[in-house]
Structure 1
Amino acid sequence: MGDRMVPVSFDRLMDRILEEYEKLGTVFSVRKQYVSPKDVYYSIFGEKLEGVCGPAAGPHTQLAQNIIAAYCGGARFFELKTVQTLDGKDLPVSKPCIKADEEGYNVEWSTELRVPEAMEEYIKAWYALKLISREFGFGDPDGFVFNMSVGYDLEGIRSDKIDRFIEGLKNAGTSGIWKECSSYARENISRFNHIDEKYLDEMSDRIGISVTLSTLHGCPPEEIERIAVYLIKEKGLNTFVKCNPTLLGYEFARSTLDGMGYGNMIFDDHHFRDDLQYQDAVPMFERLMDLAEKEGLSFGVKLTNTLPVDIRNKELPGEEMYMSGKALYPLTLALADRLTRSFGGKLRISFSGGADFFNIDRIVETGIWPVTMVTNLLKPGGYDRLVQIAESLDQIRRIDAGKNIEFNGIDQGKLHELSVNALTDIHHTQNIKPREPFKSSQSLPITDCFVAPCEGSCPIHQDIPYYINLAGAGRYKESLEIIVNRNPLPFITGSICTHRCMSRCTRNFYEETVQIRKVKLEAAWRGYEEVMDEIRPSGKRNDIKAAIIGGGPAGIAAAHFLAREGALVTIFEKEDCLGGIVSHVVPEFRVSREIVEKDVSFIRRLGVEILTGTEIRGEKDLAGQGFTHIVLAIGADNPVKLDIPGAKPYYAIDFLKKARKNAVELGKDVIVVGGGNTAMDVARAAKRLPGVESVSMVYRRDKRLMPADEEEYLLIREDGISFLERLAPAAYDNGMLKCEKMGLGEPDDSGRRRPVGTGEFVEMRADDIIIAVGEMPDEEYIKQNFGPMAFLAGDCNGKPKTVVEAISDARDVADRILNAPKIEPYKCKLTEKTEKSIHKKKGRMAHSGAGPESERCLQCSYICENCVDVCPNRANVEILTGTGGMPQILHLDDLCNECGNCADFCPFAGRPYKDKLTLFGSRERMEDSGNPGFFVVRETGDVIKNQGLLLSENAVTDSIILAVKERYAYLL
């Protein structure tokens, strides 16, 4: 296996389409086929256009099946992947070449096929669409448009190779591949219900009458103009000239991206200096508009090309990559706005740069169309995202029902408003903090790889999709039972859990995470009474009598797990109530005493003895009471000290305890040192105290590197608290805190860049200083007063923990005491109804609040298939084995060019294009590959397995192979 694709012959292409659609109702795995309304068309280049969206020149228009899949999803305008004289194996493309998990990046720029192969792919796609649009009733066979893309200099574009390509698409009927397609259609005409000889005779072979010119960065303006003149005058093509965002100037691009949170995106000004300048572009475009009008053709600009940025963290191979997607959107709109004002709205614009469901209708309403995209289609949902987009644009079309929509200029006011709003659009601004890594450390298995990333990232491996689904159905009792099976603190965690699960939610790649914590709390409140009615002291009995010292989250959870299995449990708590840090430190505006008591009520009902106001100082205090086990859950109260000469600071835990009891007074100006969640609590609690006028937080790194959750940062901003970055306290004198400005050096052991002093200092007013940089357990006290037989749980066990980590600790301690096996994951059988429900949600945008969160949850524990969704080439497919098991993934070697996109979105630490069971198209490619896979001899049906498969095969792999031969033979 190499990184080269093998184009599919037209007969096999059509056989797969017809058989797959008949058996599964899908076309190249696209499940939601868009059917275009017949009431109105757009008109472009004198041709009809059913819709104005589609894929841009890129991976989605490189192969015939990619174009067909996009059409089925709802695309009607196709910007074909760029061709140039350097092609095929002569074109160096580093692999992987695509990264689209946040904003998009790539290191490839034109077709990886030979130019004649590319032309054949486009002709095959055109002919196939002419057949299926009519046969399946998806739309008008004349309602889509192919737009050629060529580059990169006049000499290359005038070469015989590119000229044959252009002329071949202008008049495809004389080509060998057209005749091959026509022969197939005529020989198989009996397989069609709506195709006849007359239709085939009248089919248009004029595939391309328009072109988008793409030039390399640094191309001189006179060269760009010469090429455009050639394409218009000599080739008679309607022409778009693709513009680079560098037209905006370095200062504008840098300040715009910085203001939207993309300060980590590194680029200098050399491309901006070397590329076409705005003052040269405007008169050039005026001349080209005049020329096109004289020739009876259309001229416009394509906005925009990608933006070159530096590779700093090995995101992709090489030194420079090209940025697209959500970060490109504000730059593209800004350039569109500027050009529209320069031309009074008369310059036609084809748009590509961060278009998606949330903005495409507003783009089109300005008069800018067609609109094409790449990055959006490279994310989970893939081609299925197009249906919702196309349907949203239908609303605009219906306003003009009964007439063809022509280009009549661009609404300057609407465009300017859209451009300004883009700067604060949540779909395009950068997250304050980088998202937690999506991928786990778990190896990608060859089969059974469905997994919910939220579960895998949860310290207690909560069965999240299942309880969300039950809550959505109103079955709150069952939902809460599933929660409490692993999490005996549903009220506390439903209120203040740091929800690592939500940062790993696949829905983040759509719009925003499923509100997992919110659903947990809802299930807790609504299911509480019914669940409590069934809780009784365990009927089991064992010889375990456990003393739990400390009634915080770890202690409560340990008591729950032990008592549930029949142990006699007593909690000793030195304070007047249980809850530990949650009850006595976390501010009450975040979590109330009632919330804590709800969780405590579970262990009361289980028969746990609770002794508050009772401090146990050591094992000797428990002597003679018959305890067989001691669990130490006393927290961590020792603050990490920070020496600030001249200062007498408060420390976080002590301050929060006093603040909760209204037992502390602060001055007008308060400074909190630290950047974690506890520091955020300290700042918010301080701001609420009488007499405090201003609170500022000082943190030695920047906010992208702070340990606090992003939502906590947003809350301090709402409270009017300042967050001062890259400052380290140095000294305090006469009410003034002196801080050193910090730079960021190389990463430390935590992976964050190390703060480095600059020697520059600033001063700020501080009546009081509160240090919140961490706490540690008193290990010496524990060692001296409790023997090695004591079990440690929670903050006292090594380092401070979140509540859910404390629960995980407690579960581990309980399992060791009980010698119990791990709790098995909750599993439901995948039904046809459930599968349809999951696939219905794939590709559809839906923000939180639009309905039950269960309607947004993708239920990845049943079906993941991100690798199927995001592959432009359709090289990963779902296989149903017919054995009643979950769907499996099969990789198709011939269709893969190792772009790497599926690896980025796989929740495992693996690469589906390397690790999944692979079907090879030839014995030679199989022998050249390290993938576990097989080859089927078409003539005999014999299956030949390679060594990689023989070492990892199981009953499921055999069932996949059998299913391929019997049900999915069109893949062979």
Structure 2
Amino acid sequence: MGKPTGFMEYPREPKHERSPLERIKDWGEDHPPYTEESLRQQGARCMDCGIPFCHTGKLIAGMASGCPVNNLIPEWNDLVYRGQWEEAYIRLAKTNNFPEFTGRVCPAPCEGSCTLGINEPPVTIKLIEQEIIDRAFEKGLVKPQPPPVRTGKRVAIVGSGPAGLAAAQQLNRAGHAVTVFERSDRIGGLLMYGIPNMKLDKKVVERRVKLMADEGVRFVTETEIGKHVPADRLPKDYDAVVLCGGATQARDLPVEGRSLQGIHLAMEFLHANTKSLLDSNHADGTYISAKGKHVVVIGGGDTGTDCVGTSIRHGAKSVVQLEILARPPDVRAADNPWPQWPKVLKTDYGQEEAKALFGQDPRRFCALTKRFLGDASGRVKELHIVEVEWAKGPDGRFGPKEIPGTDRIIPADLVLLALGFVGPEKPMVQQLGVKLDDRGNVWTDATKMTSVPGIFAAGDMSRGQSLVVWAIREGRQAAQAVDRYLSYGDTVLPP
């Protein structure tokens, strides 16, 4: 441990960001840099505690506690404090295939379980992770790692999101010939089209994809398995198949007026926006524009925040974000102790920007949408909402209960449904004949194999909607299982 008293000497460095009113003028993720001294001080705040919870990667009370990919956080924090950036990168690369992604988009469950966070602001683990990998790329330390020997085995991976990419990179490095099928025109899955550019610059994704291609991974775009290629052909053409298609079936809101024009699923909105931005800088007009509109985002998660930030950059007239849950507390509640994920109010970039632009936080908590109202042309124009309170029902479970007299009508020219996802789309999995679990996800055993021998599944497709970092972990685990399957019980891959 380099600085035993660092956590007492140095405060947590506030996140460096451009002002909200400045950054909404573009789609860049650039922010003011950190000095070398500042970063080393932030690394010095790591206590190197006797039992670090930051890298445990456990589920506690249904939420992530610690890093799901088991990053060696105390080790590389100490190396950053000492200025040994190359060694820090080597440690980081041992556990995380894509720290440039998690360092940008992960909600950092590691920080939620940081021991220092018991009574002080936690270590800036996420920031340090991003700085390590970004500096490694700048210094040319991140190089293609093609396998020295090929095994002659062929693996097909369906889906190029974080789980698919992690599985592909690991299996390729084990010497197998890997082909990744992606139905979109660009590789990356939700990393490419589900997360806006100002949160994850697509050049960062493309840089990693090129690196993997240089290592020998074959990418096939605009090819949907089950549509362009019969799903049952894959087990015949490949020695193993890994399903990483994600949980892309969105949860809808089947209330009165849902068929009105101007109501869209969040991913329709976000996907079209990023594609148009990359194709033509929005000159082609092939996206759902929020310009000059009263926008209502229904859903309070990360996807909802991305819809808020995107709508603001389009030039929305107003933005309201509805959340059926109650407002979280400002500090941990008694039933939410460390090292659980802290269920406290967090104000993300989209809410910050809306507050700066419109003068108030766009979120309305405990709000239930009862119906959509339209104009004479069949376009949505208003929402009918009512406030709810959460109370126990006859079965003992908490649920929303309408509060009489709280009905309201709010204007809405564009409604974006960011209500999460209910599982994978079914055509491909039905063609393959794999078993589903009781939630509609692809069932797998402890080795990530499905009910069909030789077919594996990982990420949201088998886990359900989750975090990028969980997808990377699952991709790595599936890769190890596939390598064992192809190598008769042996493997050269870590979990």
TM-score with structure 2 setting the length: 0.70
Residue in 2 aligned with 1:653? 267
Q: In structure 1, what is the Cα distance between the partners aligned to 2:268 and 2:463?
A: 20
Residue in 1 aligned with 2:116? 507
Residue in 1 aligned with 2:234? 622
> Is 1:723–2:363 an aligned residue pair?
yes
SS of residue in 2 equivalent to 1:454: coil
* Amino acid aligned to 1:717: E
Q: In structure 1, what is the Cα distance between the partners aligned to 2:153 and 2:69?
A: 24
Q: In structure 1, what is the Cα distance between the partners aligned to 2:394 and 2:493?
A: 35
> Is 1:680–2:305 an aligned residue pair?
yes
Using the TM superposition, give the Cα deviation of residue 584 of structure 1 relative to its aligned residue in structure 2, in angstroms.
1.1
Kindly indicate whether the alpha-carbon contact (under 8 Å) linking 1:680 and 1:712 is maintained by their aligned counterparts in 2: no
Kindly indicate whether the alpha-carbon contact (under 8 Å) linking 2:249 and 2:425 is maintained by their aligned counterparts in 1: no
Q: In structure 1, what is the Cα distance between the partners aligned to 2:354 and 2:175?
A: 47
Using the TM superposition, give the Cα deviation of residue 710 of structure 1 relative to its aligned residue in structure 2, in angstroms.
4.9
SS of residue in 1 equivalent to 2:255: coil
Pick closer, same or farther for the CA change 1:822–1:547 going to 2, 3 Å. closer
Using the TM superposition, give the Cα deviation of residue 711 of structure 1 relative to its aligned residue in structure 2, in angstroms.
4.5
Q: In structure 1, what is the Cα distance between the partners aligned to 2:112 and 2:394?
A: 23
Pick closer, same or farther for the CA change 1:748–1:632 going to 2, 3 Å. farther
Q: In structure 2, what is the Cα distance between the partners aligned to 1:714 and 1:644?
A: 30
Q: In structure 1, what is the Cα distance between the partners aligned to 2:165 and 2:198?
A: 22
Q: In structure 1, what is the Cα distance between the partners aligned to 2:422 and 2:344?
A: 21
Residue in 2 aligned with 1:774? 420
Q: In structure 2, what is the Cα distance between the partners aligned to 1:701 and 1:546?
A: 43
* Amino acid aligned to 1:451: I
Using the TM superposition, give the Cα deviation of residue 531 of structure 1 relative to its aligned residue in structure 2, in angstroms.
2.9
Pick closer, same or farther for the CA change 1:554–1:585 going to 2, 3 Å. same
Q: In structure 2, what is the Cα distance between the partners aligned to 1:470 and 1:604?
A: 31
> Is 1:758–2:398 an aligned residue pair?
no
Residue in 2 aligned with 1:594? 203
Q: Choose which of 578, 584, 606 in structure 1 pairs with 2:193.
A: 584
> Is 1:469–2:83 an aligned residue pair?
no
RMSD: 3.1
Residue in 2 aligned with 1:79? none
Pick closer, same or farther for the CA change 1:823–1:621 going to 2, 3 Å. closer
* Amino acid aligned to 2:270: L
Q: In structure 1, what is the Cα distance between the partners aligned to 2:268 and 2:98?
A: 25
More helix per residue: 1 or 2?
A: 1
Q: Following superposition of structure 1 onto structure 2, how do residues 280-429 of structure 1 map, counting pairs within 5 Å?
A: none
Pick closer, same or farther for the CA change 1:597–1:470 going to 2, 3 Å. farther
Q: Following superposition of structure 1 onto structure 2, how do residues 815-826 of structure 1 map, counting pairs within 5 Å?
A: 815-819=480-484, 820=491, 823=494
Q: In structure 1, what is the Cα distance between the partners aligned to 2:147 and 2:397?
A: 47
Structure 1, residues 439-459: CA drift from partner, whole Å, max 9, x if none? Answer: xxxxxxxxxx93211101211
Residue in 2 aligned with 1:783? 429
Pick closer, same or farther for the CA change 1:512–1:730 going to 2, 3 Å. same
Q: Choose which of 623, 640, 643 in structure 1 pairs with 2:251.
A: 640
TM-score with structure 1 setting the length: 0.37
SS of residue in 2 equivalent to 1:646: coil
Pick closer, same or farther for the CA change 1:708–1:714 going to 2, 3 Å. farther
Structure 1, residues 502-533: CA drift from partner, whole Å, max 9, x if none? Answer: 11112223431211111111111111244334
Structure 1, residues 250-274: CA drift from partner, whole Å, max 9, x if none? Answer: xxxxxxxxxxxxxxxxxxxxxxxxx
Pick closer, same or farther for the CA change 1:612–1:752 going to 2, 3 Å. farther
Pick closer, same or farther for the CA change 1:613–1:679 going to 2, 3 Å. same
Pick closer, same or farther for the CA change 1:562–1:693 going to 2, 3 Å. same
Pick closer, same or farther for the CA change 1:539–1:469 going to 2, 3 Å. same
Residue in 2 aligned with 1:532? 142
Kindly indicate whether the alpha-carbon contact (under 8 Å) linking 1:563 and 1:607 is maintained by their aligned counterparts in 2: yes
Pick closer, same or farther for the CA change 1:700–1:623 going to 2, 3 Å. closer
Residue in 2 aligned with 1:695? 319
Pick closer, same or farther for the CA change 1:726–1:752 going to 2, 3 Å. farther
* Amino acid aligned to 1:636: A
Q: In structure 2, what is the Cα distance between the partners aligned to 1:716 and 1:693?
A: 15
* Amino acid aligned to 1:817: V
Q: In structure 2, what is the Cα distance between the partners aligned to 1:748 and 1:524?
A: 52
Q: Following superposition of structure 1 onto structure 2, how do residues 161-200 of structure 1 map, counting pairs within 5 Å?
A: none
Percent of matched pairs sharing the same residue? 26
Residue in 2 aligned with 1:603? 212
Using the TM superposition, give the Cα deviation of residue 497 of structure 1 relative to its aligned residue in structure 2, in angstroms.
1.1
SS of residue in 1 equivalent to 2:163: helix
> Is 1:564–2:162 an aligned residue pair?
no
Q: In structure 2, what is the Cα distance between the partners aligned to 1:709 and 1:781?
A: 39
Using the TM superposition, give the Cα deviation of residue 822 of structure 1 relative to its aligned residue in structure 2, in angstroms.
7.9
Structure 1, residues 701-724: CA drift from partner, whole Å, max 9, x if none? Answer: 223189998555464133335111
Kindly indicate whether the alpha-carbon contact (under 8 Å) linking 2:272 and 2:288 is maintained by their aligned counterparts in 1: yes
* Amino acid aligned to 1:732: F
Structure 1, residues 475-522: CA drift from partner, whole Å, max 9, x if none? Answer: 222222222222111111111112111111122234312111111111
SS of residue in 1 equivalent to 2:104: helix
Using the TM superposition, give the Cα deviation of residue 752 of structure 1 relative to its aligned residue in structure 2, in angstroms.
9.5
Q: In structure 2, what is the Cα distance between the partners aligned to 1:769 and 1:657?
A: 16
Structure 1 unaligned blocks of 5 or more: 1-30, 33-380, 389-448, 825-972
Pick closer, same or farther for the CA change 1:821–1:622 going to 2, 3 Å. closer
* Amino acid aligned to 2:471: A
Structure 1, residues 428-448: CA drift from partner, whole Å, max 9, x if none? Answer: xxxxxxxxxxxxxxxxxxxxx
Pick closer, same or farther for the CA change 1:481–1:712 going to 2, 3 Å. farther
Structure 1, residues 99-140: CA drift from partner, whole Å, max 9, x if none? Answer: xxxxxxxxxxxxxxxxxxxxxxxxxxxxxxxxxxxxxxxxxx
Using the TM superposition, give the Cα deviation of residue 461 of structure 1 relative to its aligned residue in structure 2, in angstroms.
1.1
Pick closer, same or farther for the CA change 1:631–1:598 going to 2, 3 Å. same
Larger Rg: 1
Kindly indicate whether the alpha-carbon contact (under 8 Å) linking 2:293 and 2:317 is maintained by their aligned counterparts in 1: yes
Structure 2 unaligned blocks of 5 or more: 11-48, 57-65, 277-281, 331-341, 356-360, 375-380, 434-451, 485-490
Pick closer, same or farther for the CA change 1:552–1:752 going to 2, 3 Å. farther
Pick closer, same or farther for the CA change 1:712–1:620 going to 2, 3 Å. farther
SS of residue in 2 equivalent to 1:551: coil
Using the TM superposition, give the Cα deviation of residue 583 of structure 1 relative to its aligned residue in structure 2, in angstroms.
0.7
Using the TM superposition, give the Cα deviation of residue 575 of structure 1 relative to its aligned residue in structure 2, in angstroms.
2.0
Pick closer, same or farther for the CA change 1:669–1:816 going to 2, 3 Å. same
SS of residue in 1 equivalent to 2:314: coil
Residue in 1 aligned with 2:441? none
Pick closer, same or farther for the CA change 1:488–1:601 going to 2, 3 Å. farther
* Amino acid aligned to 1:758: I
Q: Choose which of 472, 485, 489 in structure 2 pairs with 1:807.
A: 472
Q: In structure 2, what is the Cα distance between the partners aligned to 1:815 and 1:711?
A: 36
Kindly indicate whether the alpha-carbon contact (under 8 Å) linking 1:687 and 1:695 is maintained by their aligned counterparts in 2: yes
Q: In structure 2, what is the Cα distance between the partners aligned to 1:696 and 1:639?
A: 21
SS of residue in 1 equivalent to 2:54: helix
Q: In structure 1, what is the Cα distance between the partners aligned to 2:373 and 2:103?
A: 44
Pick closer, same or farther for the CA change 1:510–1:747 going to 2, 3 Å. farther
* Amino acid aligned to 2:483: L
Residue in 2 aligned with 1:553? 162
Which of the pair has the greater relative contact order for Cα pairs under 8 Å at 6+ separation?
A: 2
SS of residue in 1 equivalent to 2:142: helix
Q: In structure 1, what is the Cα distance between the partners aligned to 2:195 and 2:156?
A: 26
Kindly indicate whether the alpha-carbon contact (under 8 Å) linking 1:672 and 1:697 is maintained by their aligned counterparts in 2: yes
